[in-house]
Amino acid sequence: MRSPRALCAVLVTLAVASCSAEPAATPAAAPRTYLVPAETARPDETVVKAASVVDGQMRFRVLGFSDGMPSIFGSHAEWNAKGLYTRVRILIESTDRTNQKFDAKQQLLVAADGRTFHVDTQAQAIKRQPDELPVGSFVKMQFDLWFDHPEDAKITAIRFFGDPPLGAIGPSKGIEVPLR
């Protein structure tokens, strides 16, 4: 049998321990994330690991690209490039509470010597990719941009342009993402 003094000492120790000045630390909750499955790149595609960028109210991410293609195949026929085709797979996301307009014709492919090239509207149509579309609030979409450029152009980047935010003065200068 234990003595009353021992029992009293245990009770005092427990009482003092429960009155400490610092509350017990609670572990931080892990952020909640969506589980989006990875996708396999197409056989002729280089996967690009560049970070996402924001221009205006639109976030852009390059997923992959293919270059040096002399022709493309559509659902009805083959079409030859004037130079060479480059395809850039992108993911876009509206970062605003309102719809944003994505305009493929504003996006530019950039060569090492500084030349820029607009999306080829014929290739976009043949490959049934969008030219212009509304992107809903916080909506994500992925698709390809097709460019036809001279054979001597060494492609190094893509320059993205989003809708300027409300109240912006003048057009955006764009933001570049390296492709290599």
What pLDDT was estimated at residue 156? 98
**Does pLDDT of 62 surpass 90?**
yes
- Domain presence at residue 60: yes
pLDDT at residue 117, as a whole number: 98
pLDDT for 5 beyond 80: no
Residue 102, in any domain of the structure:
yes
Would you say residue 129 lies in a domain? Answer: yes
What is the pLDDT, as a whole number, of residue 68? Answer: 96
Tally of domains in the chain = 1
CATH number, residue 105: 2.60.40.1240
Residue 24, domain member (yes or no): no
Q: In this predicted structure, what is the pLDDT of residue 176?
A: 97
The DSSP element (H or E) to which 18 belongs, if any, is helix 4-18
Question: What's the whole-model pTM score?
Answer: 0.80
The residue range of the domain holding 134 is: 46-178
For residues 122 and 110, what is the distance between their CA atoms, to the nearest angstrom? 19
Question: What string of DSSP letters covers 27-51?
Answer: PPPPPP---PPP-PPPTT-EEP-PP
Q: Is residue 41 part of a domain?
A: no
- Token pair, residue 177, equals 């993402």
Domain assignment of residue 30, yes or no? no
Taking every pair of Cα atoms in the chain, the longest distance, rounded to a whole number of angstroms, is 99
Give me the mean pLDDT over the 57-70 stretch: 97
Q: What digits encode the pLDDT tens for the residues 87-120?
A: 999 999 999 998 999 999 999 999 999 999 999 9
Q: Is the pLDDT of residue 1 over 60?
A: no
Q: Is the pLDDT of residue 23 over 70?
A: no
* Contact of 153 with 118, CB cutoff 8 Å: no
At which residue do the structure tokens 């909750």 appear? 29
Asked if residue 19 is part of any domain, the answer here is no
Within-domain flag for 153: yes
